[in-house]
Amino acid sequence: GEDVEQSLFLSVREGDSSVINCTYTDSSSTYLYWYKQEPGAGLQLLTYIFSNMDMKQDQRLTVLLNKKDKHLSLRIADTQTGDSAIYFCAEGGSSASKIIFGSGTRLSIRP
């Protein structure tokens, strides 16, 4: 079945880059997403990438997709304390489809 896996924790120093990795199993995934969840808050879409793209950049965020290996990564440049959150990798078959989420990676920032 569909599954999305990601590491549970990442700690980075303020100002460094954070790279969160994810793998997924469904080769028919059309949309791959990164959501951010701050404590006590809902899910905020950070960015998404179509499966026919290799890379997408949006300000401090860079998404890389290796479709052959079904590997997705999110790079946050110049990580700030406000970036502390749980980051969910997710995939969907079409824009209206259900979204399958990974377990989330908790990003903590150290001074």
Partner 1 sequence: EPEVTQTPSHQVTQMGQEVILRCVPISNHLYFYWYRQILGQKVEFLVSFYNNEISEKSEIFDDQFSVERPDGSNFTLKIRSTKLEDSAMYFCASFTPDGTYEQYFGPGTRLTVT
Binding partner 1 (rule: CB under 8 A), the pick from 100, 105, 107, 109 is: 100
**Residue 96 engages partner 1 in binding (rule: CB under 8 A):** yes
Judged by beta carbon, residue 11 or residue 94, the one nearer partner 1 is 94
Tokens of 52: 């026919």
Taking CB under 8 A as the binding criterion, the range among 16-24, 54-62, 68-76, 100-108 that sits at the site for partner 1 is: 100-108
Judged by beta carbon, residue 3 or residue 14, the one nearer partner 1 is 3
Instruction: List binders of partner 1 among 52-91 (CB under 8 A).
Output: 88, 90
* CA-wise closest residue to 17 among 60, 65, 71: 60
CA dist 10 → 6, 71, 104 (Å): 11, 17, 11
How many residues lie near partner 1 (CB under 8 A)? 20
63: how many CB neighbours lie within 10 A of its CB? 22
* C-beta of residue 70 within 8 angstroms of C-beta of residue 49: no
